[in-house]
Amino acid sequence: MRYGAYTNPMSDVSQHDKGLLNIFVWATALSFGILAAIASSMKDFIGGNATFEFSYKTVLGFIGGSVAGWLFWRFVRRRISQASKKEQSGST
């Protein structure tokens, strides 16, 4: 099955595994986004008077963290796909 210019790296994996991996992707993206948003909204943490301040940096941090989490699993999926292709072709 093709998606745009890329082939589906998970085409030989069961539906249950695909569903579980999708949960991993969304949960990782959400948690990385929340972590980055909290880190970017912290003010005066080193000075001992830590406060949270919501700003555009908080939103950008959330988006950036979410993208980083999603890219991590995209990398993992590609590595899985490459490993399965090597196994199928019989090369090491």
Question: Which pTM value belongs to this model?
Answer: 0.70
**Res. 88: pLDDT tops 80:** no
pLDDT, one tens digit per residue, over 19-74 is 888 899 999 999 999 999 999 998 877 777 788 889 999 999 999 999 999 999 99
Q: What angle, rounded to 10 degrees, do the helices at 15-41 and 56-89 form? A: 150
Place of tokens 């008077």: 49
Q: How big, in percent rounded to 5, are the helix, strand and coil portions of the chain?
A: 65, 10, 25
